Amino acid sequence: MSAHAGGPATAAPGPGPRPARRLVRTVTVVASCLALVAAAVVVGVRALGQEPTVTLLANWTGPDQKNFRRAVIEPFERKYRIHVDYQGSNAESQVLGADVEAGTPPDVVVLTGPGELADYARQKHLVPLDGLVDRDEFGTSWATPLADGHVYWFPLKADLKSIVWYPADVGGQQRRQAVHDPAQWCLGMGSGATSGWPGTDWIEDILLQRYGPDVYARWARGDLPWGSKQVRDAWTTWYGLVGAGGDEALLRRALKTPYRSASEPVGATPRGCTLEHQASFIRNQPVWQHAEGRYEPSAQLIFGAPANRAWEVSGDLVALLHDTPQAKQLIRYLASAEAQRAWTTQESGLSVHAGVEPAPGEAGSDWHRSLARALRDEGATHCFDASDAMPPAVRDAFAEATIEFLAHPTHLDALLRSLDTLSDSPGLTWVPSVCSAP
């Protein structure tokens, strides 16, 4: 029983407990009826279109979608009285393309590819974010101005990619021996319509660590041929590390395994693999949680470099397709430190917002805070995932080529010639910048 405004609650008058129970039942029934009426009013208002609604398409499904709803969407709805009609899809590029062609695109979209977004901006499907988002809160590799000077996207969630995961009980000497054993690499190339991208991550990171951000950026902009010595060397180095075209059992495992299942052999007895070259999000997989997964920079582990030349990074990028008041309000909110902090606090992702730098004593896992600091390290260069920054046709062909190369390494020259021909096609949109200088 709650206290009254003037002081402590008093007992209801009456000869005994029966009237009190009757009163409780009456109050409960009335309260329930009022709740039902309130819910009916909310549904009715939405049905009549009187509550502002914003449509949002993103790639989060399952637990990620639940976390996103709880941490980000629901607080926004409560605060601004704007309903978010959320659609999560693992094939969001295809869904968005179909919606745009039908003339029914969502108000706001979250995509992983700046190259894809740049193409939509060129076709005038995106609304510039000038006045809605402060680009200084993120940085040029995250909120990239296009040739027209406008910024069309910003990151809601970021990930670090130039890392290798290993179980906590695998020592340094064991890791350095495992690097040279293809059987010790956990590799799964499957990802539905986007299968092959784990291979592109490998090749991109090798190029970045061996030749530096300038060469990497030239290639990602379409200015360095696929047949160049540097790019070709990245492919053949990957070949040697993972045993492309070699052991049939390893090859079959890599080609048939979905990327989310690649680390399952870590939990087997005996272990089937001990190292995984994968982005920071993979740490939330149960097998890595059970193994207390730790990470080492790929530059140190694979190449013996004393420090990273640069980090490869990726992100889930937010863009605006409809210039409505409620859509713009959602954009402002998603770009705010409040929303970005709520998302990263759940350890569902990391934020690069200038106002969300993790403090040393902040609650959370050590590995999560460590990754966040690496993403925010002002002394390092951060380069966006090159294939995600490429035009969609080139990105998709690159992913398919990694699968072909894994099975048939002798096809490399033909694959690189084909990618060069495609990259020279007229009408492609290339992102002007993918790396941020320290």
Q: Give CA separation, 239 vs 16, 203, 235, 302, in Å.
A: 85, 10, 6, 13
Residue 58 and residue 28 in contact, taking contact as beta carbons nearer than 8 Å: no
In a domain, 15, yes or no: no
Q: Give the pLDDT score at 20.
A: 37
As a whole number of angstroms, the distance between CA 106 and CA 167 comes to 41
Pairing between β-strand 108-111 and β-strand 294-297 as defined by DSSP bridges: unpaired
Query: What domain count does the chain have?
Result: 2
In a domain, 34, yes or no: no
As a whole number of angstroms, the distance between CA 395 and CA 366 comes to 34
User: What global pTM score does this model have?
Assistant: 0.85
* 260: containing domain: 161-312+387-436
128: amino acid identity, one letter: P
Q: Give the pLDDT score at 358.
A: 62
Supply the CATH number for residue 117's domain.
3.40.190.10
* Same domain for 183 and 60: no
In a domain, 29, yes or no: no
* Same domain for 421 and 351: no
* Same domain for 413 and 304: yes
* Same domain for 290 and 403: yes
**Along the 438 residues of the chain, how does pLDDT read in single tens digits?**
333 333 333 333 333 333 333 333 333 333 333 333 333 333 433 444 467 999 999 999 988 899 899 999 999 999 999 999 999 998 899 999 999 999 999 999 999 999 999 999 999 999 999 999 998 898 777 888 898 999 999 999 999 999 999 999 999 999 999 999 999 999 999 998 889 999 999 999 999 999 999 999 999 999 999 999 999 999 999 999 998 778 888 999 999 999 999 999 999 999 999 999 999 999 989 999 999 999 999 999 998 876 667 899 999 999 999 999 999 999 999 999 999 988 777 666 789 998 887 644 444 578 888 898 888 888 899 999 999 999 999 999 999 999 999 999 999 999 999 999 999 999 999 999 899 876
* Same domain for 422 and 275: yes
As a whole number of angstroms, the distance between CA 371 and CA 12 comes to 59
Residue 143 in tokens: 């909120």
* Same domain for 323 and 295: no
Q: Give the pLDDT score at 346.
A: 65
Pairing between β-strand 310-320 and β-strand 381-384 as defined by DSSP bridges: parallel
In a domain, 17, yes or no: no
Q: Give the number of other CB atoms < 10 A from CB of residue 79.
A: 11
* Same domain for 197 and 88: no
Q: Give the pLDDT score at 347.
A: 61
In a domain, 368, yes or no: yes
Residue 116 and residue 93 in contact, taking contact as beta carbons nearer than 8 Å: yes
* Same domain for 206 and 320: no
In a domain, 12, yes or no: no
User: Pick from 317, 315, 321: which is nearest to 334 by CA?
Assistant: 317
